């Protein structure tokens, strides 16, 4: 055999070995891909549970191994939870208080989802209305009894010395009374201050204010902070004067209105003594749902 023939045979053997190695590798990959691919949510959840793992997650998907960076997964997760928040938020603004109560009762996890999104949205506001109301309470006597209608995470109660009845659809901790706020377990004429901080969400919001009127003592305060755009008639919002007029017809005196903040308005009222109510004659303006933008 010549030297040239010998080299030819060696090259042929090397090529054949290489082909076999390639086949073995492809077979291994197919076996790995036989298990069903995880859903995107499973992937995202797995990534959240496993935060101490390296900065990349390997996902087997349709026989192919794909690598998603954790920043990509975090972005997808934020998108998903943002979508859930907007859906729940829209629901709360377009149903009655009782329907909202039943909605969360069926699936309490939705409440946490809503509040995670809500906190995210609020982090973009330069000032939080709940802080303005907290300051108002700190400037008044700590002996005033407060009812916080739609308290959320009960931030108000945690930051003042007053006795606060925190009311919301779900009780996140034992201090919160779970109820639809148009029908609270509070006694009539038992509180000095009723607070609605961004919580006039239900389509039957007038029944929330009616309930506040019932539980307030004569000369008690009604403090309302609401999203400004809901009171902008040029974009379909309510006329703030009509809103204020309806509350006064219920038996309150308007004390102050503050439109200086870019994001929210503040309307303060005082309950009249011995006012005869003509509830059925009151014309409540519709409040525009507050729908948050996609970020």
Cβ-based nearer residue to ligand SAM, 44 or 209: 209
SS3 165: strand
Residue of 53, 82, 55 whose CA lies nearest to 68? 55
Binding residue (CB under 6 A) for ligand SAM from 44, 88, 146, 181:
181
CA distance 6 to 4: 5
Number of residues that bind ligand SAM (CB under 6 A): 19
| Tokens found for residue 174 | 């034992």
Q: Rule CB under 6 A: say whether 197 interacts with ligand SAM.
A: yes
Q: Rule CB under 6 A: say whether 113 interacts with ligand SAM.
A: no
Q: Is 273 exposed, middle or buried (0-12, 13-18, 19+ CB in 10 A)?
A: exposed
Binding residue (CB under 6 A) for ligand SAM from 150, 220, 251, 285:
150
Per-residue binding letters, 202-241, with ligand SAM (x by CB under 6 A):
x---------------------------------------
β-partners of residue 178 are 168
Q: Which stretch binds ligand SAM (CB under 6 A): 42-50, 192-200, 237-245, 261-269?
A: 192-200
Q: Which stretch binds ligand SAM (CB under 6 A): 12-20, 193-201, 253-261, 281-289?
A: 193-201
Residue of 183, 115, 182 whose CA lies nearest to 153? 115
Q: Rule CB under 6 A: say whether 292 interacts with ligand SAM.
A: no
Cβ-based nearer residue to ligand SAM, 181 or 193: 181
The least CB distance from residue 199 to ligand SAM, in Å, is 4
Q: Which stretch binds ligand SAM (CB under 6 A): 69-77, 163-171, 211-219, 232-240?
A: 163-171
Q: Rule CB under 6 A: say whether 100 interacts with ligand SAM.
A: yes
The least CB distance from residue 221 to ligand SAM, in Å, is 16
- Rounded to an integer, what is the distance from CA 121 to the centroid of its chain? 8
Q: Rule CB under 6 A: say whether 130 interacts with ligand SAM.
A: yes
Cβ-based nearer residue to ligand SAM, 149 or 243: 149
**Contacts for 251 with CB less than 8 Å, ≥ 6 apart:** 213, 271, 272, 275, 277
Phi-psi region of 103 (alpha: psi -120 to 50; beta: other; left: phi over 0): alpha
The least CB distance from residue 98 to ligand SAM, in Å, is 7
SS3 55: coil
Q: Rule CB under 6 A: say whether 117 interacts with ligand SAM.
A: no
CA distance 59 to 40: 10
Residue 28 sits at φ, ψ, to 5 deg, of -60, -45
Residue 288 sits at φ, ψ, to 5 deg, of -65, 135
Max CA distance (Å), the chain: 121
Q: Rule CB under 6 A: say whether 198 interacts with ligand SAM.
A: yes
Q: Rule CB under 6 A: say whether 152 interacts with ligand SAM.
A: yes
Binding stretches for ligand SAM (CB under 6 A): 92, 97, 100, 118, 130, 150-152, 155, 167-169, 180-181, 197-199, 201-202
């Amino acid at each position: 055999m010549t030297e040239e023939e010998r080299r030819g045979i060696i090259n042929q053997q090397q090529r054949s070995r290489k082909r076999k190695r390639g086949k073995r590798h492809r077979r291994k990959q197919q076996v790995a891909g036989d298990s069903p691919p995880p859903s995107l949510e499973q992937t995202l959840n797995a990534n959240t549970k496993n935060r101490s793992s390296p900065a990349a997650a390997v996902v087997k998907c349709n026989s192919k191994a794909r690598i998603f960076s954790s920043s990509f997964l975090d972005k997808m997760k934020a998108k998903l939870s943002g979508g859930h928040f907007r859906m729940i938020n829209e629901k709360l603004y377009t149903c009655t208080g009782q329907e909202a109560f039943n909605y969360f009762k069926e699936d309490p996890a939705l409440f946490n989802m809503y509040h995670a999104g809500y906190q995210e949205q609020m982090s973009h506001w330069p000032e939080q209305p709940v802080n303005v109301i907290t300051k108002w309470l700190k400037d008044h006597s700590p002996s005033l009894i407060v009812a916080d209608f739609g308290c959320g995470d009960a931030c108000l109660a945690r930051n003042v010395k007053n006795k606060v009845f925190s009311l919301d659809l779900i009780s996140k901790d034992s201090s919160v009374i779970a109820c639809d706020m148009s029908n609270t377990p509070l006694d009539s004429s038992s509180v000095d201050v009723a607070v609605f901080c961004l919580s006039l969400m239900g389509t039957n919001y007038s029944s929330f204010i009616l309930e506040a009127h019932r539980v307030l003592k004569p000369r008690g305060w009604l403090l309302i902070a609401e999203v400004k755009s809901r009171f902008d008639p040029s974009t379909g919002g309510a006329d703030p004067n009509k809103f204020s007029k309806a509350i006064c017809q219920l038996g309150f005196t308007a004390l102050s209105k503050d439109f200086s903040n870019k994001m929210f308005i503040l309307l303060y009222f005082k309950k009249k003594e011995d006012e005869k109510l003509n509830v059925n004659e009151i014309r409540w303006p519709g409040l525009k749902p507050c729908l948050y933008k996609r970020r």
